Structure 1
């Protein structure tokens, strides 16, 4: 990579003047951030600068997550992945959070009204949502009594040996989470609660259309027939 020069000086040794432009300040800010991450400015003195080398020096070795494979499953619809990821990190704005913010008058579940609406309650301790989960698992032909978003994919990984079916199951669970969250938003803001049958039908249509459009001609006849028969 060519060395970057700013006003005739190597940018690694460049000191940012107060009158510097926004772009120059951002470049220099990134330089200082790299030095702080490596606890040393010694990389400034190297004759050639390599983005790859600096990246390898500053990156930290994070622990492997158990959920990444099924959250970022290629067959899942992107917005389904995002909502599932938000759920995993407990970042969904459930009524317990909204109540603390002063947005809602109470923190009770929008579906059953019998418990505080937390992520754990919605997925899937709530009676309404548990019924939806049972219908979803029955549609997929999965015989498990697990009701945890983290445990169901783990069970699928251990009990389903066919990779395509496993990815379809992951996509369906992600779609189920999205449908519940979408229905919950309708219940909170529109005061309208969807039927279990309606949620499941919407999920089935979304999942099949997504998988057929993504897989295309790469999908074998056997897998296609199995998917369409669901």
Structure 2
């Protein structure tokens, strides 16, 4: 008995067809290419925390439903920031011009590099700057600090709006500290680097 096989040809990277399948090739053929954002290295890196990276990406892309954005859609919502009611809630106010959020971001960032910007896009550009004198540990940890601060500030903002429950800035700083420690504990030490990520974090930071 002779078996009959049906050959299926799949699209290849050069636009022709072949017998092998690659989801990467298919994705590259169907997706619409956009310019690479200058801040992408502050978002996507080996040690990132997925939920933090996603929220940070939305924030840098101006896709989070902040109150100024909701009002631009015609929704009748208060304009005041729930973290610092003396100002209007915008992207740049919430991350990190607001006194509340600035006290979280700068508390951690200034222990690694001096003079951290108090604006989300300036902070991302500051992180992505070429720093030849900086260690791999510093570059990783400053990114984790940035993303954890953005994520937990956004979480606190939503909690205040939807549950009317608020936490102090020190409580948020403790949560940032806990997130970073948990992530660094999962990173094995490299024999080529004298200090592990966690040891470097303990060496350059102070408890909230």
TM-score by length of 1: 0.69
State the alpha-carbon separation in 2 of the partners of residues 90 and 151 from structure 1. Answer: 14
Using the TM superposition, name which of 104-113 and 162-171 deviates more: 104-113
Give deviations 1:164-197, integer Å, cap 9, x for gaps. 2201111111101011101101111122222111
- Counterpart of 2:3 in structure 1 is none
Matched, 1:68 2:40: yes
CA positional deviation for 1:59: 6.2
Mapping 1:146-225, distance limit 5 Å: 146-156=117-127, 157-159=129-131, 161-213=134-186, 215-218=187-190, 220-223=193-196, 224-225=198-199
CA positional deviation for 1:48: 4.0
Matched, 1:226 2:200: yes
State the alpha-carbon separation in 2 of the partners of residues 142 and 94 from structure 1. Answer: 29
Change (3 A) 1:80 1:145: closer
Does structure 1 retain, via aligned residues, the 8 Å contact 2:105–2:145?
no
Does structure 1 retain, via aligned residues, the 8 Å contact 2:79–2:88?
yes
- Counterpart of 1:18 in structure 2 is none
Structure with the greater alpha carbon radius of gyration: 1
Does structure 2 retain, via aligned residues, the 8 Å contact 1:208–1:228?
no
TM-score by length of 2: 0.75
CA positional deviation for 1:201: 1.0
Does structure 2 retain, via aligned residues, the 8 Å contact 1:95–1:117?
yes
Structure 1's unaligned 5+ residue stretches are 5-9, 13-30, 32-42
Give deviations 1:54-109, integer Å, cap 9, x for gaps. 76666666433211111012222111001001101111111233445676642221
Match of 2:100 among 105, 112, 128: 128
Change (3 A) 1:179 1:69: same
- Counterpart of 1:3 in structure 2 is 7
Figure out how many residues of one structure are paired with residues of the other and give that number.
191
Does structure 1 retain, via aligned residues, the 8 Å contact 2:52–2:148?
yes
The two structures, once aligned, show a CA RMSD in angstroms of: 3.2
State the alpha-carbon separation in 1 of the partners of residues 41 and 35 from structure 2. Answer: 14
State the alpha-carbon separation in 2 of the partners of residues 101 and 61 from structure 1. Answer: 27
- Counterpart of 1:119 in structure 2 is 91
CA positional deviation for 1:50: 5.8
State the alpha-carbon separation in 1 of the partners of residues 74 and 121 from structure 2. Answer: 30
Give deviations 1:13-47, integer Å, cap 9, x for gaps. xxxxxxxxxxxxxxxxxx9xxxxxxxxxxx7xx67
